[in-house]
Structure 1
């Protein structure tokens, strides 16, 4: 158990939707920084790693089905480097916020989480709403800006500014975050 949890939001995506083209271009830019951060979290014991992903309305699919659908989608190259490893915590969600209708709040309480690092997609939607829900639960939020992807650049930038200004979110890079967390490993 650690006092910090890193949440990977909606990165298991088949990219077969209306906004897939602009989103996948932006996701491609965050894959390596996010993958490096995930490797760091798995190698250390000071961060709890949690994957939370939309079930895309398929209430028959377990998390293995969500992973399989993403790996069989149009951009498996954006999924393979950041896919959950055995032992990673996982849960499905049904709406924008990772807190809405999920056991996330209970899990974080059980883990003793006092700070939340949010990564994934989409900055102006699921990341923003999850940050707001964390803020209302008195959980400080950290956003590594090179580990979140947007659909619309202007809305993504506005969402980051809203999280910083209105929710006291700390905006950092993955390198700054990895340097802060101990023990230090190569990134």
Structure 2
């Protein structure tokens, strides 16, 4: 059972088929972020910070996240299999599916975060300039403090990733520390 905590880690769209224009470029940049996402996830688990996977359903409307992961492993880019191997959710992690860019759009995420008494969201995943950006903006609108781990996200190009991070920082005051900085900082004030 997931316990209330001031923080939560949202891992966005890491199970992906990369079968779209620019997908190969995104996959190659995502490959570099996989170890950082795995490290951040493990530290969050150790601190008692809830880990919440929110993933696109790829129009697999009859599947849960396990089925979506199986689909991406079967038909996706080789990085799809690498991500599944390195980032597979554990039994303690929450798993939600989404059908649009933002993890907040028509998902159970708002109710879950309210139940957990969450105040701060740490974001990781792909694409930094699309789904992570949309989720960060919606989180800000919902009143959450938002942190985006800059080396735990990826976009189709490094320039697009950089622009997304700059926009979040300048427009919304979103902090963009590295995973190393987050790990050294530790959790914020623990469980509620």
- Structure 1 length-normalised TM: 0.93
Residues 1:158 and 2:163 are matched in the alignment: yes
Aligned to 1:142: 147
2:13–2:55 contact (8 Å) kept in structure 1: yes
Aligned to 1:179: 184
How far the C-alpha of 1:182 sits from its partner, in A, is 4.5
Which residues in structure 2 correspond to 1:114-129 (within 5 Å)? 114-129=119-134
Aligned to 1:12: 15
User: What CA distance in whole angstroms lies between the structure 1 residues aligned with 2:77 and 2:26?
Assistant: 13
How far the C-alpha of 1:19 sits from its partner, in A, is 2.0
For 1:7-57, what per-residue CA distance to the aligned partner results, in whole angstroms no more than 9, with x for missing partners?
Answer: 000001122222221001111111111111111122221x11100000012
1:131–1:167 contact (8 Å) kept in structure 2: no
Runs of 4+ in 1 over 4 A off after TM superposition: none
User: What CA distance in whole angstroms lies between the structure 1 residues aligned with 2:103 and 2:162?
Assistant: 20
Secondary structure in 1 matching 2:11: strand
Which residues of structure 2 form unaligned runs of 5+?
none
User: What CA distance in whole angstroms lies between the structure 1 residues aligned with 2:86 and 2:38?
Assistant: 6
Aligned to 1:2: 5
Two-structure CA RMSD over aligned residues (Å): 1.4
Match of 1:52 among 50, 54, 64: 54
Aligned to 1:38: 41
Which residues of structure 1 form unaligned runs of 5+?
none
2:44–2:187 contact (8 Å) kept in structure 1: no
User: What CA distance in whole angstroms lies between the structure 1 residues aligned with 2:187 and 2:123?
Assistant: 18
Aligned residues, how many? Answer: 182
- Structure 2 length-normalised TM: 0.90
